[in-house]
Amino acid sequence: MKATDLLKKQHKEVKSLFKKIEKTENGRARRQLLDEIATALHGHTVIEEEMFYPAVRGLETQKAEEMVLEAFEEHHVVKLVLAELPKVNTEDDRFEAKMTVLSELVEHHADEEEKEMFKLAQKLGKDELESLGEQMQERFEAVRSQSRQAA
Ligand SMILES: [Fe+2]
Ligand SMILES: [Fe+2]
């Protein structure tokens, strides 16, 4: 699968997890969904930061450089909000508010990646995107099993 298609697929999966958690009232179920969201986002940001963004940067255009820098900053904000969530009571109204903010951040970021960065990334060519996609899939699985062990 092309790297850009893999990332789009993961965006969809995370968005659907956010929809699910929005409809979930039970504290324990919320916590479990939150863990799933955190694991999915962690793996996704690792493969983007370690593999996909450097490839985009390799296109060596000013636009690519600006988009990558902005994306790193957005990941940073997402990580800050995620780090606070384990401390918030899932039965609390603040939990819902924080989840809404997180979901909006992620959605905005993912949409921008898809509309701008992934479009530009097509310049890497189909073969390059395919092989990058395979490597990213492998790395994603490895990161995910690491986070499962840690939990
Ligand atoms: Fe991203
Ligand atoms: Fe992404």
Residue ranges covered by each domain of the chain? 3-150
The predicted-structure confidence for 3-16, as pLDDT tens digits, reads as follows 999 999 999 999 99
Tokens of 151: 């939990």
145 Cα–ligand 1 center, Å: 20
pTM of the model: 0.94
Q: For residues 56 and 121, is the Cβ–Cβ distance under 8 A?
A: yes
39 Cα–ligand 2 center, Å: 14
In angstroms, rounded to a whole number, what is the distance separating the alpha carbons of residues 12 and 40?
11
Ligand nearest to the CA of 15: 2
The predicted-structure confidence for 49-84, as pLDDT tens digits, reads as follows 999 999 999 999 999 999 999 999 999 999 999 999
The predicted-structure confidence for 97-115, as pLDDT tens digits, reads as follows 999 999 999 999 999 999 9
Q: For residues 53 and 68, is the Cβ–Cβ distance under 8 A?
A: yes
pLDDT for res 135: 98
Which residues have CB atoms below 5 A from the ion given as ligand 1? Answer: 48
Ligand nearest to the CA of 8: 2
Number of CB atoms found within 10 A of residue 117's CB: 21
Ligand nearest to the CA of 10: 2
109 Cα–ligand 1 center, Å: 6
**92 has a pLDDT exceeding 90:** no
**148 has a pLDDT exceeding 80:** no
